[in-house]
Amino acid sequence: MGTSLCSLAHPTCEGLGVTNLTTKTYHLLGADGRSHQSATRGLFGGNTRLKIYGRLDCPSALRAIKSGPTYARYRVFFADEASATAAGYRPCGVCMRTAYAQWRAAKQKNNLSTRPNTKQSAYEPNKKS
């Protein structure tokens, strides 16, 4: 009996030497922001419009997905947190509070250091010459 092909993974077929043609692949976004196929499922989900990523069981994302097809249309997946941040996504404030707080603190620190000093002005009325 030769090996035949089966599109379903039945225990009976596997026992008879029938091969399964449907290997599940997942579309993940890499650190470069490009989509690629992976045999392993992504651990984090994201949204391309909001540039945000979080856990797959995030209550906020699940609520948005239930509300209609718009959020799901922009849904992407990441293999790990490093890929998501390298692709320019920020952590979710609902399901990843610690990572979000760290991201926000770093962003505020960077914004304060690059912000020009607005308290100085050319007009100094109390300055004595």
- Give residue limits of the domains in the chain: 25-114
3-class SS at 77? strand
Q: How far is C-alpha 32 from the chain's CA centre?
A: 13
Q: How confident is the model at residue 55 (pLDDT cuts 50, 70, 90)?
A: very high
Q: Is the pLDDT of residue 70 over 60?
A: yes
User: With pLDDT > 90 as the criterion, what percentage of the chain qualifies?
Assistant: 44
Higher pLDDT pick, 91 / 20: 91
CATH topology of domain 25-114: DNA Methylphosphotriester Repair Domain (3.40.10)
Q: Is the pLDDT of residue 10 over 50?
A: no
Q: How far is C-alpha 34 from the chain's CA centre?
A: 12
- Amino acid residing at 84: A
Q: How confident is the model at residue 66 (pLDDT cuts 50, 70, 90)?
A: very high
